[in-house]
């Protein structure tokens, strides 16, 4: 039987703070476990823990002395700390009208004493408790209470640091992604060749898979910029990007190599015929005129293609062979594709 769950007045804000931690880790962290171990020894208790109380559940962020199961919020002693927004000390759990019937009191490990100090991720937002428990009833001195509050402050600081590191990691990842993204088309730019394409190529060939590459060049694009202006040319490139997206798979990698040139990398195509099929769909997509600000514009494709490892075991070699195939497609009259033949 659980205790009556009392909801703090700032529960919506408190839960937002709790949820901001959920992406960090759902399992105990070594730093908080080490802090719990220090508290267990300092207070000579059989158990110490750093617990987070979410909407329905108590989550263990670090514990020492024994391994307990996470439990519903209404069975958690730490729920009282969250509601009180202050330290809670229960000298004898068996004598408490509600907690005396709790499973950890009536059954193993038969706890009799509880003390918990609030964990604050943000000011006045208590997300859980740093708690210590004993199997026998005991008094808790003011000095011990002050020390438990200190442990809780250190645990709160560790949680804030973990959250900050996580957010900084997201920001760093976003900055890396932004640095590798072409703002006009939304595709990757050339800096992604080292960071993403090389890794994908090595992974594919290392596991015995194939890796396809296509080099796309829009025929007559320079004349569009020269006659209609760069802003029309930019709109053509945006629409070209949409047409490329409509043809490729979600796992394919597109890089804007510069100007009107794009490279499409195709992980693990079953054979050369699969690359030919992509080429044909791309050519078909670009044979429809572009309509930009009342202008009807033709900008078809020439495509070079190659399949690794036959077409090259490294990206530079693969792109060199693809570029040669593209040159052959242009020499053959454009609006066509040529597949590199290693023989």
Confidence check: pLDDT of 307 > 80: yes
Contacting residues for 147 by C-beta, under 8 A, at least 6 apart: 42, 43
pLDDT at 12: 85
Q: How many CB atoms lie within 10 A of CB 187?
A: 21
Name the more confident of 62 and 26. Answer: 62
Residues of 124-162 as b/e, b for ≥16 C-beta within 10 angstroms? ebbbbbbbbbbeeebebeeebeeebeebbebbbebbeeb
Q: Identify any residues that bridge with 337 across adjacent strands, giving them in sequence order.
A: 303
Q: Identify any residues that bridge with 118 across adjacent strands, giving them in sequence order.
A: 129
Told to judge if 260 belongs to the known catalytic residues of this protein, a careful annotator would answer yes
C-alpha to C-alpha distance for 210 and 212, rounded to whole angstroms: 7
Q: What share of the chain is helix, strand, coil (3-state, %, to 5)?
A: 45, 25, 30
Which of the four pLDDT bands, split at 50, 70 and 90, describes residue 71? confident
Phi, psi of 102 (to 5 degrees): -70, 145
Average pLDDT of the residues of the chain: 89
C-alpha to C-alpha distance for 308 and 163, rounded to whole angstroms: 43
Q: 39 with 130: CB under 8 angstroms?
A: yes
* Residue whose C-alpha is closest to residue 52's, from 183, 133, 139, 159: 159
C-alpha to C-alpha distance for 307 and 214, rounded to whole angstroms: 9
pLDDT digits (tens, 9 = 90+) for 173-183: 555 666 788 88
**Percent of the chain, pLDDT > 90?**
64
Catalytic choice (54, 260, 323, 335): 260
pLDDT at 24: 47
Q: DSSP for 282-330?
A: HHHHHSSPEEETTEEE---EEEEEEEETTT-SSHHHHHHHHHHHHHHHH
Which of the four pLDDT bands, split at 50, 70 and 90, describes residue 126? very high
């Amino acid at each position: 039987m659980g205790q009556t769950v009392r909801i703090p007045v700032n529960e919506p804000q408190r839960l937002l703070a709790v949820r901001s931690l959920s992406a960090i880790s759902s399992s105990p962290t070594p730093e908080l476990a080490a802090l719990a171990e220090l508290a267990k020894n300092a207070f000579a208790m059989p158990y110490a823990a750093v617990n987070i109380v979410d909407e329905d559940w108590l989550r263990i962020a670090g514990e020492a002395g024994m391994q307990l199961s996470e439990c519903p919020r209404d069975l958690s002693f730490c729920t009282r700390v969250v509601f009180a927004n202050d330290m809670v000390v229960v000298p004898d759990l068996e004598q408490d009208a509600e907690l005396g019937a709790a499973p950890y009191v009536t059954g193993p490990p038969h706890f009799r004493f509880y003390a918990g100090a609030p964990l604050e991720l943000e000011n006045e937002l208590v997300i859980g408790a740093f708690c210590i428990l004993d199997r026998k009833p005991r008094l808790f001195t003011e000095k011990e209470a002050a020390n438990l509050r200190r442990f809780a402050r250190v645990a709160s600081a560790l949680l804030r640091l973990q959250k900050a590191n996580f957010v900084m990691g997201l920001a760093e990842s976003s900055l890396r992604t932004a640095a590798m993204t072409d703002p006009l088309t939304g595709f990757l730019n050339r800096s992604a060749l080292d960071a993403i394409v090389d890794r994908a190529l090595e992974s594919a060939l290392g596991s015995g898979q194939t890796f396809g590459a296509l080099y796309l060049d829009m025929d007559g694009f320079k004349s569009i910029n020269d006659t209609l202006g760069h802003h029309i040319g930019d709109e053509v490139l945006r629409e070209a990007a949409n047409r490329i997206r409509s043809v490729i798979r979600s796992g394919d990698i597109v890089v804007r190599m510069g100007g009107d040139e794009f490279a499409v990398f195709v992980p693990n195509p079953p054979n050369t015929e699969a690359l030919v099929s992509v080429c044909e769909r791309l050519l078909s997509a670009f044979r429809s005129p572009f309509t930009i600000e009342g202008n009807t514009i033709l900008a078809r494709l020439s495509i070079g293609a190659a399949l690794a490892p036959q077409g090259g075991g490294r990206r530079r070699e693969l792109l060199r062979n693809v570029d040669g195939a593209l040159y052959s497609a242009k020499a053959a009259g454009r609006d066509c594709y040529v597949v590199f033949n290693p023989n």
